[in-house]
Amino acid sequence: MNDTATIDWHNLGFHYTETDYIVRCSYHDGQWSAPRATRNKRIELHVAATCLQYGQQVFEGLKAFRGVDGKVRIFRMEENARRMQASAKGLCMEGVPTDLFCDAIVLALKKNLRYLPPYETGATLYFRPILLSTTPRISVGPGRAFEFIVIATPIGPYFPVGFLGTPFIINRHVDRAAPLGTGQFKVGGNYASSFRATEVAHAMGMSCVFLDAKHKRYIDECGAANFFGIKPLPKRDGELQRYAYVTPKSTSILPSITNDSLMTLAREQGLQVVRRHIPVEELSAFTECGACGTAAVIAPISRIIDPDNATTYEFGTTPGTISRQLYNALQDIQYGRTTDKHHWCTVL
């Protein structure tokens, strides 16, 4: 079915919209089944399944774009496959092979093609791959049977204001993840543990900045996204101003595929790329700050409030020059407006 769905693409938010099919694979007795598309959106689970009893579950997020040339581009899905494999290993699960992962994504795209938003609507087709442990078990330990499911749904911008400045507030009283825990893996529990802070921030019209759990001094993540800051470098006489793209280094941060892409583009644009601890007080040295991830791409940060120190760091309500340049460079690749020299996109 390739007829276009009747949807107001320009006003589509970041929420679930029912599509025609999901894709499923099962792992039993040491092997994966072939991907199969089904209209049944329900999962039948044993009540003692380890995904329910002990949270043995991981997931991913990636997008497909309708390009300027009418072709479809899936962005860096092999990298998403590898990240899911790392998450699965971290939770003692059977990883989904890269070929199987990619075949399932392509099948989900083809079976839901009428939900792929048109070019220049600002909307995309979002895929949510999920890996669940289905083994019935009451004693504490990992399961050995798994279900891999791919949901496809059209989405609009993650932040309601789109590519405009979003305010954030620092929360020192809730930890998203422990330093050597599951923060580096895309685990549902990491997000559930953040709700106590993010819901408070959202009620104030803001998003939340998490600090490292050990020292409560260094920036870890921005809500469900990676953080980056743009910092002027020391300038010599007669030299043009140069900048650094600075992003946190931490064992409790999810390795963002979007952030990795932006760091590559930043180097190409002449920025110095630095990954290190970022103390809160260094925010005063940044001219631009942003949250980045698959859902938001880049969400420029207008200000960061530190209520415990009665300090507010201002960055402006409109995107900074460098953030906009990086955002446009990445979107140009995703929409086929420029040469994809890194071979990030699978073109269909």
Q: What residues act catalytically?
A: 186
Q: Which amino acid is at 305?
A: I
- Distance, in Å, from the CA atom of 48 to the CA atom of 52, rounded to the nearest integer, reads 7
Query: If 0-12 CB within 10 Å is exposed, 13-18 middle and 19+ buried, where does residue 177 land?
Result: buried
C-alpha 23 chain-centroid distance: 21
Residue type, 2: N
Q: How many helices (H) and strands (E) does the chain have?
A: 7, 18
CA proximity to 113, closest of 25, 19, 13, 9: 19
> Kindly report the CA angle at 297 between 201 and 254, in degrees rounded to 5?
70
CB count in 10 Å sphere of residue 24: 18
- CA 28, CA 22: separation in Å to the nearest integer? 20
d(CA 229, CA 39) in angstroms, rounded, equals 43
Q: Compute the radius of gyration of the chain from its Cα atoms.
A: 21
What is the DSSP pairing of strand 62-66 with strand 57-59?
unpaired
- Distances in Å between the alpha carbon of 254 and those of 42, 90, 99, 281? 29, 12, 23, 23
